Structure 1
Amino acid sequence: MTIASTAPTSAAPSTAPAYPVVEYKTADLDGLEIFYREAGPADAPVVLLLHGFPTSSHMFRNLIPYLADRFHVIAPDLPGYGQSAAPAHADFDYSFDSAADAVRKLLTKLGITRYAVNVFDYGAPTAWRLALADPDAITALIVQNGNAYDEGLDNDFWVPIKRYWADPSSENRDALRDLVKIDATRFQYTDGMGHPERISPDNWIADQAQLDRRGNDEIQMDYFLDYGTNPGLYPAVQEWLRAKQPPTLVVWGENDVIFPADGAHPYKRDLTDIEFHLFDSGHFLLEDRASEVFPLIHDFLARKLG
C-alpha cells in the first residue's frame, strides 16, 4: 500500500504578512514590579499606551499587534492594576504622581526618551504629569476619552466623586464602593455602545477578577480621591498643549457617561494640528469600533512619526 505524503514539495513563498510577536515582561523599578506588553521593532518610533480604570494593558491586546508592524509599542499596567504589583494601600501612595513616576522609571530603564502616547481615562492624568515633567518628550497624542479640561466633569456621574474630594470621610468613601463591583464594570463596557454584540464578556470578567483581589477596593478608593488633584493641573496642561502643539488625534466614544464628548471638543481650542473623530460608542470604543479606530490611529502615527 502506498501512502501519499501531505508535505508540500514546491510550495510558493507565502505572501501573508508576519504577525507581530507581543512579549510580556516585568520590570523591577526600585522594588516595585511593573508589568508591560512590548511589541514591534526596537528601533522604530515608540508608542506608549496608557490604560484607565478598571482595566489594564489588556485593553490594548488587539491594538498592540496592529501597530507593531512599524512602531515600538509599550503598554504598562499602572500600579495596582493588571499584573503589576499591588502593595497594600497603607504601604503605597496610590496617586497619579506615583503612577507617572512608575511609567517614567520604566521608560528610563528601557532607554526611551521620546514617544507618542495614547491617553485614556486614568492614562490621561498619568501622561499629563509626564508631559509637564519633560515637555519635549511627547511626539504625538492619541486622545481616547481622556480629559484635560473641566468640561465633561460636571455630569451626574461625578457628583459623589466630587463630594468625596471635598470631604474624604468614611461615609463618602464607602458611597463609591459600588463602582468597583461587577455591575459597574460591565456597565462601563456595554453602556452607550453602538455595537454591543462586539463586546467580549472576557473584558469585564478579567477586570473584575483584578478588582476583587483582597484590598484592591481600598486601592481604587485612593485613586478616586487623588483624581481630585487633576483639575488643578489642567491649566498647566492646556498651556503645554498650546506651547508644544503636539500632533493630536482625538478618537472619542461620544456616548460615554464617564467622560462625555463635552470633554473632547475643548482640545480644538488649544491645538492646531488636530484630527477629531466622535463615534457612536461608549467608554471603551476600542472594543466595538476597532475596525474604524485602529486604521485611524495607525495612519495618523505613520504620517506624524514617519
Structure 2
Amino acid sequence: MLRRIPFGKFAAALVAAVLLAAIAAVAWNPYLLVRGEFARQRIAAGLSQHSVEVAGFHWVYATRDADVVDAPTVVMIHGFTGGKENWYPLARELRGRYRVVIPDLPGWGASERKPGADYGFVAQAERVAAFIRAVSPGKPVVLLGHSMGGGITALVAARHPELVSRVGLLDAAGVRFRDNRFGEEVLAGKNPFAVTDDASLHAYLDVLFFDKSKAPAIPWPASVGFIRQRRADAAFEQSVLDKIGRGPQRFLPGEEAANIHQPALLLWCKQDAVIDASALDLYAARMPQARKLLLDGCGHMSITEQPHNVAMAVESLIEQGVAR
C-alpha cells in the first residue's frame, strides 16, 4: 500500500529539489547569474524581449511601446563588447514617451553569430538598415548609436536617410581622435577590452567608467561566468577590432558623416578614456547642423553614468530637432 505524503512535506521537498537544481545549474554555468541580472534590469525598465529574422540573422531585442499613439520610435545601437543592456538606464528615463527598440547586434549578446561573417562597420550598417525596415516599416526612426554603434549609426544615417529622421552619436567611434592609451593599444594590435581574469575585468571596467559608482558590480560567482564568456569571445572580439579599429573601414563613419543632413546630436563625456572627446569636434566639422553636448564627470559610458542628462538631450533632439 502506498503511503500518502502530507502536502506540506511534498511542497517543501519540491522546493528543495528546485533549489538544488538551480544551484547545480549556476555551479555548472555561473553566467546564468549575469543573464538573470540582465532580465531583472530589462523588467525594471518596462521592456519586453522579442526576436526577429532579418538580413539572414536571428536578432534578439528589447522593446517597449509608447504611452501615446504615433509617438516616434527610438532605435538604440550598442558598442563593442556591449549589448542591449547598456541602454536600459536610458530606456528607463525615456519610458512611455517614445517607442523604444534596442537590439543585440548580430554577433553580440543573444543575437546570432555566424562563423566567418563580416561584423565591420559597413556590413553591420546594412543589417541595421534592414532591421529598421522590419521593426518600423514605412516610418523613419530616431537612431542612436554608442561607441562602435555610433560608427554604425553614422553610416546608416548617411546611406539610408529615408530610414532615419533624427540621429544621435554618443561617444562614437569612426574618426581619428587625439591619441590616448586605448587607441595606441588598438593600433598596436591589442584588444584593450580583453577580459581573461579578475585583474583584467577590473581594468576593463576602470577604462569604461569615470564615475566608479556607476560601474556594474559583478560579484563572485557571477564574475566567474562573465570572465569565462569573455574568454570564449576573445577571438571574435579580436576579429571585430581588426575591422573597426585597424582596418580600412575604421574612419569611414567620420568620412561619410558629411552626408548626414538630419537633425543630429553629438554627445560625449569629457573624461572618456576610450573615444577621446576630441572626436566630438571631428564629427561636428562634417555635421554643421549637429548640436554638441560635452558632459562632465563621466567616461565612455555616458548612457549609464548620466542617463538623465542623456535623456534630456535626446528628448530635445526629438521634440525640437536640437540637443539641449
Q: Same fold (TM over 0.5)?
A: yes
Unaligned 5+ runs, structure 1 = 1-18, 165-174
1:140 aligned to 166, 178, 189, which one?
A: 166
For the residue of structure 1 that corresponds to 2:183, the secondary structure is helix
Q: Is residue 2:268 matched to residue 1:252?
A: yes
**Contact 1:39 1:65 (8 Å CA) reproduced:** no
User: What's the CA shift string for 1:201-232, capped at 9, x where partnerless?
Assistant: 159x6897387267421211111011123344
For the residue of structure 2 that corresponds to 1:264, the secondary structure is helix
What's the counterpart of residue 38 of structure 1? 63
For the residue of structure 2 that corresponds to 1:61, the secondary structure is helix
**Contact 1:96 1:125 (8 Å CA) reproduced:** yes
Q: RMSD over aligned Cα, in angstroms?
A: 3.1
What's the counterpart of residue 252 of structure 2? 233
CA distance in 2 between partners of 1:20 and 1:280 (Å): 24
What's the counterpart of residue 209 of structure 1? 226
CA distance 1:302–1:194, change in 2 (3 Å): same
CA distance in 2 between partners of 1:118 and 1:226 (Å): 21
Q: Is residue 2:123 matched to residue 1:98?
A: yes
For the residue of structure 2 that corresponds to 1:249, the secondary structure is strand
Q: Is residue 2:92 matched to residue 1:60?
A: no
CA distance in 2 between partners of 1:178 and 1:111 (Å): 33
CA distance 1:20–1:82, change in 2 (3 Å): closer
How many residues of Structure 1 are paired with residues of Structure 2 in the alignment?
A: 271
- Offset, 1:39: 1.2
Report the TM-score, using the length of structure 2 for normalisation. Answer: 0.72
CA distance in 1 between partners of 2:82 and 2:320 (Å): 30
What's the counterpart of residue 101 of structure 2? 74
Q: Mean alpha-carbon deviation: is it higher for 119-128 or for 262-271?
A: 262-271
For the residue of structure 2 that corresponds to 1:266, the secondary structure is helix
CA distance 1:58–1:193, change in 2 (3 Å): closer
For the residue of structure 2 that corresponds to 1:25, the secondary structure is strand
Query: How do 1:102-121 residues align onto structure 2 when only pairs under 5 Å count?
Result: 102-112=127-137, 113-121=139-147
CA distance in 1 between partners of 2:90 and 2:228 (Å): 23
What's the counterpart of residue 268 of structure 1? 284
**Contact 1:44 1:72 (8 Å CA) reproduced:** yes
Unaligned 5+ runs, structure 2 = 1-43
**Contact 2:192 2:204 (8 Å CA) reproduced:** no
**Contact 2:78 2:148 (8 Å CA) reproduced:** yes
1:290 aligned to 261, 284, 307, which one?
A: 307
Identical positions, percent: 17
- Offset, 1:75: 0.9
**Contact 2:269 2:297 (8 Å CA) reproduced:** yes
For the residue of structure 1 that corresponds to 2:50, the secondary structure is strand
CA distance 1:264–1:297, change in 2 (3 Å): same
- Offset, 1:145: 0.6
Report the TM-score, using the length of structure 1 for normalisation. Answer: 0.76
